[in-house]
């Protein structure tokens, strides 16, 4: 059946597949909800968005996404609180960052109304897909790509904006062991490292696989020039605790302006934790590990929220991090997730209720 609400046409599935899903045993991002939002850019403007049954997207073999990689995305989550309200976390920050990525990749910016109204309507239609189990959420993937055709190496003339959702459990289970990268780089000055471009992640897979083959879970990326400074942890921002000070690399052309990262910095400062945004050298991390001053390392991002690092390898030497009774990572993760799920007050105005 088809209904039009707030200028968004909704074409619902004949029968939901939700009864086929075991919500108590969810992997991350491998089961998809009934519907998706689709909006096309053509003739120089964004068309009216529609909500359609989740299904394959048909593209011409000459679509420029296949040849020149104009593709960007965001990662978000929706939660249900004890009253059954649907909640988002800083969604307009995702819209702003998506458009920063769009500008860098010469993709037309998506209007706020299409992003926010489309997202909230999609969550209204598929609200039953939001898990309520502890640690679970509805992962939301907005993305945009070049759908216009042509082999000419130039921006496309048509684009597609899509939002898909996936009920998901934890991204990582337990702590991870990482390898500090000495050869490969995630991004370079003047490049697209600060954008959530699909190619950034594709380029990570090879060095990450090399690390996995050596018994590590992820790579700690270092700067492209000297490999003297740590920058990100896999697909996440990275925090390092030396003594009682929390360190994180400043954002740049190479480092993503993470929404979880910004939230952690604010929460930590308000909790009386000393936070410094500055370059962090590999040498000082190794020296702190040897002296016992290195207390914690953790990745931060939407998917995992906070992922503690159990140890790291560098120059054929492994270093284990101590087991702390009340680590910053656990404190900060609890504060953020309590805000996200409406288990605590939100003094920052980050929580967004879908109505």
Domain 176-340 fold is: D-amino Acid Aminotransferase; Chain A, domain 2 (3.20.10)
Question: In the prediction, which pLDDT does 7 show?
Answer: 80
**CA 198, 250, 319, 268 torsion-angle sign:** negative
Burial pattern 148-169, b for ≥16 Cβ within 10 A else e, equals: bbbeeeebbebbbbbbbbbbbb
Band of residue 157 on the pLDDT scale cut at 50, 70, 90: very high
**DSSP classification of residue 105:** T
Q: Summarize pLDDT for 68-109 with one digit per residue, the tens.
A: 999 999 999 999 999 999 999 999 999 999 999 999 999 999
Q: Give domain limits for the chain.
A: 2-168, 176-340
- Contacts of residue 108, defined as CB under 8 A and 6 or more positions apart, other chains included, come to 41, 46, 102, 159
Q: Summarize pLDDT for 310-335 with one digit per residue, the tens.
A: 999 999 999 999 999 999 999 999 99
Residue with tokens 């850019």: 41
Question: In the prediction, which pLDDT does 6 show?
Answer: 53
Distance from C-alpha of 167 to C-alpha of 119, rounded to nearest angstrom = 15
Q: What is the pTM of this model?
A: 0.95
Name the CATH architecture for the domain at 2-168.
2-Layer Sandwich (3.30)
Instruction: Give CA angle at 165 (123, 19), nearest 5°.
Output: 85
Band of residue 140 on the pLDDT scale cut at 50, 70, 90: very high
Instruction: Give CA angle at 193 (192, 194), nearest 5°.
Output: 95
Distance from C-alpha of 300 to C-alpha of 38, rounded to nearest angstrom = 29
Band of residue 174 on the pLDDT scale cut at 50, 70, 90: confident
Q: Chain-wide mean pLDDT for the chain? A: 96
């Amino acid at each position: 059946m088809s209904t039009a609400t707030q200028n968004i046409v909704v074409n619902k599935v004949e029968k939901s597949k939700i009864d086929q899903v075991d919500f108590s045993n969810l992997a991350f991002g491998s089961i998809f909800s009934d519907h998706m939002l689709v909006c096309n850019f053509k003739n120089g403007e964004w068309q009216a968005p529609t909500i359609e049954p989740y299904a394959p997207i048909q593209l011409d073999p000459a679509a420029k996404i296949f040849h020149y990689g104009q593709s960007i995305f965001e990662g978000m989550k929706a939660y249900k609180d004890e009253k059954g309200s649907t909640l988002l976390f800083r969604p307009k920050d995702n819209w702003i960052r998506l458009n920063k990525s769009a500008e860098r990749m010469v993709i037309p910016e998506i209007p706020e109304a299409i992003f926010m109204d489309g997202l909230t309507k999609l969550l209204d239609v598929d609200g039953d897909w939001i898990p309520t189990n502890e640690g679970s959420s509805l992962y939301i993937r907005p993305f945009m790509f070049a759908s216009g055709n042509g082999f000419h190496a130039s921006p496309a003339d048509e684009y597609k904006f899509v939002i898909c959702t996936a009920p998901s459990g934890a991204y990582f289970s337990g702590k991870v062991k990482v390898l500090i990268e000495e050869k490969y780089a995630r991004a370079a000055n003047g490049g697209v490292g600060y954008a959530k471009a699909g190619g950034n992640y594709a380029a990570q897979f090879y060095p990450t696989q090399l690390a996995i083959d050596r018994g590590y879970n992820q790579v700690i990326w270092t700067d492209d020039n000297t490999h003297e400074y740590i920058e990100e942890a896999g697909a996440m921002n990275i925090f390092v605790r030396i003594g009682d000070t929390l360190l994180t690399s400043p954002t740049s052309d190479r480092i993503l302006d993470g929404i979880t990262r910004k939230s952690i910095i604010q929460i930590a400062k308000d909790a009386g934790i000393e936070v410094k945004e500055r370059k962090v050298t590999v040498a000082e991390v190794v020296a702190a590990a040897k002296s016992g001053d290195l207390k914690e390392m953790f990745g931060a991002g939407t998917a995992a929220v906070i992922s503690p690092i159990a140890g790291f390898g560098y120059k054929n030497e492994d270093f284990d991090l101590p087991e702390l009774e009340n680590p910053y990572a656990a404190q900060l993760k609890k504060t953020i997730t309590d805000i996200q799920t409406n288990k605590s007050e939100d003094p920052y105005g980050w929580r967004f209720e879908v109505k």
